[in-house]
Chains A and B, each alone.
Chain A
Amino acid sequence: MNALEKALLVKELHHLLNDLEHGSLSFFEIAKSKSRLIEIFRLCDEPIFKKQLLKFKSQTQPEQAATDFANQTLFKLSYRGFFQQDHDLQQALYQNAESGWAILYRPAQGWQMWLIPASNRSALTSVWGSLDDIYRWMLEQQQRYSCLKTDDKLKQKPGMLEQPITLTSAKPETNLSPDTPAIQQQNQVYNSSLLEPKVDIIPASDHVNRIASEVQQTNTQGINELPPISEDNPQAIPAITNQKSISKDFPQTVELASYIAHLQPLHEKIAAEAVYGLEVPSLPEISQYVDLLIHASDLENWQERPIYLAEQIDSQNCFRKYLVLFGVENQIQTVHVMHRFTEPYQHRIAAIKEISWEDLAETFTGFDALFYSYAQKAALIWKNENYLPFIPAQLFQTQKFIQFEESPADFKTPLLLLKERQKIRVIHGQNRLNLSQTESAYPYFLLERHHGVSWQLIQNIIAQLESPIDCYQLYEAIQKHISD
């Protein structure tokens, strides 16, 4: 879908939700609107809406949603399955009493995670919530008790997999007759749910009618909840570790090209997003010009996800550092995480680009090289209003060759630079450079000699302008001359 199609969907959703919210629709119209909502969800099948689609699936195809969800975690091999009955879940979970986790689903209550905290212990259970809620809970327990081994660790130590792990589901086998009483009983939850797992193949008209009949029914399903084992029960868990530290069963390091980077906890705002800093002990100098962050949702496969590179500026518009974000899923998450990260420092993001790992791997170890990658190889995602890129101070010669009176500068004023024979020289920027001696990079316009910009041409244009000369005014005059 292009931007216009999406904007039109926004408008349609706005109307649909408005009508549903005000409750003035007939049962048939409600059903029709809901059916259209489902169609819209299916249209929004881009990765950027993954979070929303998971929630959608969790209502329409809960077992599939649970499986997709489990596949995206670091603990897929310890996952014992999706269940709708407590006893089925317990049977499967305690089949391997060493460790493991499973998901219980009830349409009326949502999702509940069951997690064995330590060998031969009773499972801890989360409160009922969304898949996001229970995963967050699981990560908290993992941070406290290190109860699960990541898939990579399990694969490295085959002995840990000696006991067979059987993925069991409460769903009946398909070759059994649905008329069998036992199967009917097991299917009870499925049949009474609003949207059943086979929603994909239900014709739209059937779907409308089915929802129409369901909105008239009251869900009378009983709740047979087992009392959860309190996670604060001192009998259950002997040791609680510092929550701020990184669990030892999370990868502690990631490989960045030939370097080892250590995960570091960050400030609270960003820690809540499951984002860690990366520190490369063998390259301490890089922290002067770049912050490296990684999202912990899939630490082992971060190279398969997009990588974002941004420029951080302070409240005065001065360049602070680049910011690299690994492991996020999409642009929306990137914008959110980057703003969260910079907030406490009162920094802002000036622009965000996407870059391939191949291009970044070769250049993140040097400020100049990273600048060239950012300028030439990364694709722009977003930029601030009136954005200008920044160039490292060591890349240009500050001596001004043509002397003229410049208008006063502030920190937003760019430099006007000319590139010739591999050298970059200042045309306009004396006042800007005099503002501070400590800036590592400056906003800039770049002219290039091989585009037909000569010193003589610049001098002629300067002679035609009134003093003092403004940087933007000079740049525009030169650009106009070239284009004419």
Chain B
Amino acid sequence: MYELQALIQGKIPPQAINIDRLIVLAEGYPIPNSAEYKLLELAINMVLASYLEKAQKYL
């Protein structure tokens, strides 16, 4: 979670996030109303958005 906080605060780029760890966290926090899920979802959205940006050049 510390890593995700750093991402949201702009201290590390989305590419620095460990994706497997992201999946483990998403499996561990499945309740949409929990604060952990919200933090996780925001961070995942940021990472996914950055990958979608990167994917543009291959379309």
Q: Which residues of A contact B (CB under 8 A)?
A: 2-4, 6-11, 13-14, 16-17, 20, 33-34, 37-38, 40-41, 44, 48-49, 51-52, 55-56, 59-60, 194-195, 331-332, 335-336, 339, 348-349, 380-385
Whether the Cβ atoms of B19 and A7 lie closer than 8 Å is: yes
Query: With contacts A3-B44, A383-B39 known, is A56 near B56, CB below 8 A?
Result: yes
Which residues of B lie under 8 Å from residue A37 when comparing CB positions?
55, 58-59
Which among A11, A17, A60, A385 is the interface contact of B23 at CB below 8 angstroms? A11
Task: Indicate whether B12 reaches chain A with its CB closer than 8 angstroms.
Answer: no
Chain B contacts of A349 at CB under 8 A?
A: 9
Within 8 A of A (CB), among B12-59: 19-20, 22-23, 25-27, 29-30, 32, 35, 37-42, 44-49, 51-56, 58-59
Q: How far is the CB of B48 from chain A (nearest CB, A)?
A: 5
Residue of A4, A194, A335, A384 touching B59 (CB-CB under 8 A): A194
CB pair A7–B58 under 8 Å, yes or no, is: no
**Residues A332 and B58 in contact in the complex (CB < 8 Å), given A339-B9, A383-B39:** no
User: Would you call the interface of chain A mostly helix, strand, loop, or mixed?
Assistant: helix
CB atoms of B42 and A56 under 8 A apart: no
> Cβ of A34: which chain B residues have Cβ within 8 Å of it?
58-59
A425 CB, min distance to chain B CBs, angstroms:
28
The 10 A-B residue pairs with the shortest CB-CB distance, nearest first, are A52-B52, A4-B26, A13-B51, A7-B26, A3-B41, A3-B26, A7-B23, A7-B22, A6-B44, A59-B59
Query: B-side binding surface: helix, strand, loop or mixed?
Result: helix
Cβ–Cβ contact B53 & A52, under 8 A = yes
Chain B nearest Cβ from A208, distance in angstroms: 14
Q: Which of A13, A332, A383 contacts B45 (CB 8 A)?
A: A332
Can you sample 11 A-B contacts with CB below 8 Å?
A: A4-B23, A10-B47, A16-B55, A17-B51, A37-B58, A40-B52, A52-B49, A339-B9, A382-B8, A383-B39, A384-B5
The chain A residue with its CB closest to the CB of B53 is: A52
**Docked-complex contact A382 and B42, CB < 8 angstroms:** yes
Residue contact A385 to B2, C-beta cutoff 8 Å: yes
Contact of A335 among B42, B54, B55 (CB under 8 A): B42
Q: Is the CB of A11 within 8 A of B20?
A: yes
Closest residue of B by beta carbon distance from A21: B58
Name the distance in Å between B4's Cβ and chain A's nearest Cβ: 10
Report the bound CA distance from A72 to B40 in whole Å: 30
Contact in complex: B35, A383 (CB < 8 Å): yes
